[in-house]
Amino acid sequence: PLLNALLALDEPERSSKWLRCLFEEDKDEAITQIALWQAYQARFAHAVDKHGRPLLPAAEFIKNVSTTFADKAAAQVQAGPVQKFIIKGIRIRDAPVDLTGRPYQKCLWPTLTPDGTGTRTCGGFFMEPAEMFTHIFADHLHVPRTASPSPSPQPPSAGEGEVALVEPKTGPKIDEGKFTNEEGSYRCLWPGCTKFRNPILIRPAQLATHIKIKLPLSLARVHQIPQPYPNPPRPTSNAHQDPSPRRLTPLSLPSPAELGIPCDNAKFHVPVYCCG
């Protein structure tokens, strides 16, 4: 979605937006002009013919970097045995942001290095909970998917005494199909996790409940907090009773069913509370 939004823009706005999404101001950091120019080319050159929006010439692009960051990023020549042409005052963001400034979240699952001799952080970036969940289940845990069902005719309209089945309009969805709930050997390698560090026989629905609380808070929908429960009646004769009892507020997290995992056992949907 972010790339599509950028491809719809004309220059120099496109390069300015792209720079803001991937870089931020830092007076002590620098990046070489050639590295920045090559990254810009690699991202947009393939779309020139398709969208008819040409790239900026190299000199214009470098000038636009300073314009984008209000002259806090300046083109300089770094002295040394080999001169380097740099942009002083910017650095790569730890995580990219979208056009509104909302940050993407990084998958921290460890993966093998290309030579197979070590591990490194996955590094995939995701904005929505279903996207990161699907990525972890499919690409890291390799949970099998269910077979795609054959198209079926639409059910008749609900009549008297019947309940119409309505697809939920909100909540994370998985376009590629649902996952099976067959028991298998799985382990959780999310940094800091100790519960499923070693392989264990477990159903994906149970594992989903564990994995979803590992997701960054902004992906776990904790911002959707219902109203607190009403205050309980206060005792009239206990002088030591706290006059302002603490209330527990449920945090709304995606259920296994929302995340595309069949589950017929309510115990797998574990409520999470915080003190309010």
Q: Are residues 111 and 224 in the same domain?
A: yes
Q: Are residues 57 and 136 in the same domain?
A: no
Q: Are residues 21 and 123 in the same domain?
A: no
User: What average pLDDT is seen over the chain?
Assistant: 73
Q: Are residues 35 and 110 in the same domain?
A: no
Q: Are residues 46 and 128 in the same domain?
A: no
pLDDT bin (cut points 50, 70, 90) of residue 241 is very low
Tens digit of each residue's pLDDT (9 = 90 or more) over 74-101? 888 888 888 889 999 999 998 899 998 8
Q: Are residues 29 and 136 in the same domain?
A: no
Tens digit of each residue's pLDDT (9 = 90 or more) over 133-166? 899 999 999 999 887 655 555 544 444 333 222 3
- To the question of pTM greater than 0.85 for the whole model, the response is no
Q: What percentage of the chain has pLDDT greater than the value 90?
A: 29
The domain tally of the chain equals 2
The answer to whether residue 92 is domain-embedded is yes
Give the domain range for residue 257: 104-146+177-229+247-276
Q: Are residues 123 and 56 in the same domain?
A: no
CATH number at residue 90: 1.10.10.10
The answer to whether residue 239 is domain-embedded is no
On the question of pLDDT at 192 being above 90, the answer is no
The answer to whether residue 264 is domain-embedded is yes
Specify the pLDDT at position 257: 44
Q: Are residues 96 and 108 in the same domain?
A: no
The answer to whether residue 48 is domain-embedded is yes
Q: How far apart are CA 252 and CA 213, in angstroms?
A: 11
Q: Are residues 87 and 120 in the same domain?
A: no
Q: Is-contact 227 253, C-beta < 8 A? A: no
Which of 28-32, 46-50, 154-158, 183-187 has the weakest average pLDDT? 154-158
